[in-house]
């Protein structure tokens, strides 16, 4: 009997370097022998053949947990992703291209990497600063034995023991923070477009470590800027030593393809352009015609047509243009002789002729980029007197980054979204420049309360008292509320705006599927008789599968009725998930393929848990026979 192709949703056999080795084997197969052993001398031949200069001097960053961080990068996600169907079906959200996801951002990034690989134009993140008082402690849910971690990470048992120890106890050391950040940044790079960029807020506690880490992940040649943001406008008088009034924003490009945009000109820059001759040439200002250097061709008289007076350049200087050009300017009314028409000649400098923007600098003062108080004021305008978030960033800090790094239709990702500033900033910028950018935001469902061990009651955690007091029991709830309130505010202030002010919500849930051992996969028998999925479970499988199959979360999902059996089509993928698929459903599927010219899936993905071997083979034989009558190829995949 011929068995259908089967696949496990995510590979469970990854090690610290398995994905990287697979890339090498794919692109440089000549560098491996028949036993799969890497031959570095072969790689050297490839490098030399392409005239790549070989540098023997090098250095690298190392820390306790680096091999573990590489392993975490390659391990598959442990959860599934489901939609909030009630929220997503509402009028304001049903057609939105914006996304908010609840869950651990490492899990979420691993899910996103298929559907959004190399689609994200810009990433902004504001990760924990590891100040010692910001609550950062590294722990994860992986339960490795010393032997397993030693084998998978390629480290000795002593190092494995030390890593498991700091994970079990919780740590906020530099090593723990780097172990936390490495896999997130590594996967973030996979999501970035070749012409994309990432901006990361940080302070002095981890700035030096983050710079070295980004050099390793993104390549030091892709460093763009270390922006200094003036987050406070006054010193803290009771500070010990120095009063810190700044944070940093590190910027890296994905590759040299990235081209930054100019920032908008300021009102102050445009203020001098106040004259308008009403001749269609626009606003202008007067500019000096003299240059402080002598040029023989630039010394000649300019006659004021109003008075007949001749003007010459002062000694040692000259006019900025030749006499021929000056004659042309006079004819075009480009020369200005003062308000009364009797002054010395000046050049009319038109606003539309100057550079239409500002080159970004690495110093962002609070007057332009906002400060901490401005960020809190924004939240108070949305939430009232008590703000539910302690350390928000102002939209005036995020908007310039988005402007520098994106076009009007690009994706922006923030996987430490916190108070939701990035989403707010993207919506505001879309209003200002008529853009249609889309945000993808991720936030952990971090609770704002603790459980009193004596009473069992919820009590506010020290860092989130105000949030808990006004009814927000998790940081995610604050994020969702902020984006909703910001959208409502924008809509009220811009009643004619027709752009996207909605967002769809998704969240990670535990994987409810049992593990499948090798024997059962080979036999390909149904593990359950008429397994009934709840709506939540069904939506979780459909969402996770479609994302795994390179579709975006907001892709159109078409419900396909197959004689009472509900299938779903996403692009060219037809999903058969529930267990009640029978002969009549199969007949209707074949009829639809014959009758509906638009209906042309190229893959049918079958839930291996719910389809026994007989149904799988019946489906396969029918589709194979059908393909002889219609010239499309349909592959059937049994998925676990």
Q: What is the pLDDT of residue 521?
A: 43
Least confident of 135-144, 196-205, 210-219, 488-497: 135-144
pLDDT bucket at 127, cuts 50 / 70 / 90: very high
Is 405 strand, coil or helix? helix
Q: Is the pLDDT of residue 531 over 90?
A: no
Q: How far is Cα 179 from Cα 163, in angstroms, rounded to an integer? A: 10
Q: Which residue has the higher pLDDT, 26 or 585?
A: 585
pLDDT tens digits, 543-599: 999 999 999 999 999 999 999 999 999 999 999 999 989 999 999 999 999 889 899
Is 336 strand, coil or helix? strand
Count the neighbouring beta carbons within 10 Å of the beta carbon of residue 159.
18
Q: What is the pLDDT of residue 21?
A: 81
pLDDT tens digits, 222-232: 999 999 999 99
Q: How far is Cα 184 from Cα 106, in angstroms, rounded to an integer? A: 6
pLDDT bucket at 459, cuts 50 / 70 / 90: confident
Those residues with Cβ within 8 angstroms of residue 498's Cβ, 6 or more apart along the chain or in another chain: none
Q: What is the pLDDT of residue 387?
A: 85
φ/ψ of 332, rounded to 5, equals -90, 5
pLDDT bucket at 631, cuts 50 / 70 / 90: confident
Q: Is the pLDDT of residue 270 over 90?
A: yes
φ/ψ of 599, rounded to 5, equals -75, 105
pLDDT bucket at 45, cuts 50 / 70 / 90: confident
Torsion on CA atoms 530, 535, 539, 542, rounded to nearest 10? 20
Q: What is the pLDDT of residue 526?
A: 41
Q: How far is Cα 336 from Cα 576, in angstroms, rounded to an integer? A: 76
pLDDT tens digits, 385-398: 788 888 899 999 99
Mean pLDDT of 207-219: 97
| Average pLDDT over all residues of the chain | 91
Mean pLDDT of 336-346: 94
Q: What is the pLDDT of residue 170?
A: 86
Q: Is the pLDDT of residue 528 over 60?
A: no
pLDDT tens digits, 75-88: 999 999 999 999 99
Q: What is the pLDDT of residue 519?
A: 39
* 500 conformational bin, left if phi > 0, alpha if psi -120 to 50, beta if neither: beta
| Residue whose structure tokens are 């036993």 | 35
Exposed/middle/buried for 212, CB within 10 Å: 0-12, 13-18, 19+? middle
pTM score, whole prediction? 0.90
Mean pLDDT of 361-384: 95
Kindly state the tokens that stand for 332. Answer: 């075009």
Q: What is the pLDDT of residue 12?
A: 63
pLDDT bucket at 2, cuts 50 / 70 / 90: low
Q: How far is Cα 154 from Cα 67, in angstroms, rounded to an integer? A: 7
Mean pLDDT of 255-270: 94
Q: What is the pLDDT of residue 458?
A: 84
Q: Is the pLDDT of residue 1 over 50?
A: no
Which residues of 453-598 form beta strands (DSSP E)?
458-460, 504-510, 558-562, 565-570, 573-576
Q: What is the pLDDT of residue 516?
A: 55
Q: How far is Cα 498 from Cα 434, in angstroms, rounded to an integer? A: 10
pLDDT bucket at 202, cuts 50 / 70 / 90: very high
Mean pLDDT of 269-298: 94
Exposed/middle/buried for 557, CB within 10 Å: 0-12, 13-18, 19+? middle
Is 505 strand, coil or helix? strand
Q: What is the pLDDT of residue 530?
A: 52
Q: Which residue has the higher pLDDT, 133 or 502?
A: 502
Q: For the chain, which domains are there?
A: 67-137+172-264+359-507 (3.40.50.150), 267-353 (no CATH), 514-639 (no CATH)
Kindly state the tokens that stand for 574. Answer: 């037809």
Kindly state the tokens that stand for 425. Answer: 């900033």
pLDDT bucket at 525, cuts 50 / 70 / 90: very low
Mean pLDDT of 152-171: 90
Q: Is the pLDDT of residue 296 over 80?
A: yes
Going from the C-alpha of 531 to that of each of 194, 517, 527, 538, 607, the distances in angstroms are: 44, 18, 9, 11, 11
Angle at 475 between CA 512 and CA 443, to 5 degrees: 55
């Amino acid at each position: 009997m011929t068995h259908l192709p089967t696949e496990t949703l995510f590979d469970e056999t990854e090690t610290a370097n398995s994905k990287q080795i697979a890339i090498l084997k794919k692109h440089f197969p000549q560098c491996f022998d028949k036993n799969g052993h890497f031959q570095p001398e072969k790689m050297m031949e490839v490098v030399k053949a392409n005239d790549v200069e070989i540098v023997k001097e090098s250095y690298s960053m190392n820390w306790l947990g680096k091999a573990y961080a590489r392993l975490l990068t390659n391990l598959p996600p442990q959860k599934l992703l489901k939609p909030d169907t009630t929220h997503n079906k509402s009028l304001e959200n049903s057609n939105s291209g914006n996304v908010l996801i609840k869950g651990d951002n490492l899990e979420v990034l691993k899910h996103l990497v298929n559907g959004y690989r190399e689609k994200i134009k810009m990433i902004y993140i504001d990760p924990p600063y590891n100040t010692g008082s910001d609550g950062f402690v590294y722990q994860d849910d992986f339960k490795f034995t010393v032997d397993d971690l030693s084998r998978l990470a390629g480290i000795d048992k002593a190092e494995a023991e030390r890593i498991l120890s700091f994970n079990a106890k919780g740590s906020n050391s530099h090593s723990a923070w780097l172990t936390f950040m490495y896999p997130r940044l590594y996967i973030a790079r996979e999501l970035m477009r070749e012409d994309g960029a990432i901006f990361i807020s940080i302070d002095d506690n981890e700035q030096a470590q983050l710079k070295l880490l980004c050099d390793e992940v993104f390549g030091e040649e892709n460093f763009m800027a270390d922006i200094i943001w003036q987050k406070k406008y006054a010193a803290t008088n009771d500070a010990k030593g120095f009063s810190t009034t700044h944070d940093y924003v590190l910027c890296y490009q994905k590759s040299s393809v990235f081209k930054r945009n100019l920032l908008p000109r300021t009102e102050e820059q445009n203020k001098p352009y106040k004259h308008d001759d009403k001749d269609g040439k626009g606003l202008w200002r007067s500019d000096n015609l003299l240059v402080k250097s002598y040029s023989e061709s630039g010394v000649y008289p300019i006659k004021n047509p109003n008075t007949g007076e001749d003007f010459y350049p002062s000694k040692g200087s000259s006019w900025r243009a030749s006499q021929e050009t000056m004659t042309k300017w006079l004819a075009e009314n480009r020369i200005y002789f003062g308000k009364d028409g009797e002054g010395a000649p000046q050049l009319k400098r038109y606003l539309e002729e100057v550079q239409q923007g500002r080159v970004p600098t690495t110093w962002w003062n609070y007057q332009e980029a906002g400060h901490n108080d401005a960020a809190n004021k924004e939240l108070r305008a949305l939430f009232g007197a008590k703000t539910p978030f302690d350390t928000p960033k102002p939209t005036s800090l995020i908007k310039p980054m988005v402007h520098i790094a994106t076009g009007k239709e690009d994706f922006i990702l923030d996987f430490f979204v916190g108070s939701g500033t990035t989403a707010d900033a993207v919506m505001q910028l879309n209003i200002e420049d008529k853009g249609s950018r889309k945000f993808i935001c991720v936030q952990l469902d971090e609770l704002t309360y603790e459980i009193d061990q004596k009473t069992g009651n919820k009590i506010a955690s020290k860092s989130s008292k105000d949030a808990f007091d006004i009814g927000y029991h998790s940081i995610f709830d604050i994020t969702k509320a902020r984006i909703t309130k910001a959208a409502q505010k924008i809509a009220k202030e811009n009643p004619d705006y027709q752009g996207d002010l909605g967002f769809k919500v998704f969240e990670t849930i535990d994987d409810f599927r049992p593990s499948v051992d090798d024997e059962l996969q080979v036999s390909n028998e149904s593990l359950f008789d008429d397994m009934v999925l709840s709506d939540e479970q069904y939506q979780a499988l459909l969402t996770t599968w479609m994302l795994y199959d390179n579709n975006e979360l907001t892709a159109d999902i078409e419900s396909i009725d197959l004689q009472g059996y509900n299938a779903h089509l996403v692009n060219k993928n037809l999903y058969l998930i529930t267990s009640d698929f029978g002969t009549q459903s199969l007949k209707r599927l074949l009829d639809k393929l014959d009758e509906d010219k638009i209906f042309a899936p190229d893959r049918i993905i079958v839930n291996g848990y719910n389809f026994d071997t007989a149904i799988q083979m019946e489906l396969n034989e029918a589709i194979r026979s059908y393909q002889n009558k219609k010239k499309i190829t349909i592959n059937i995949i049994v998925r676990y």
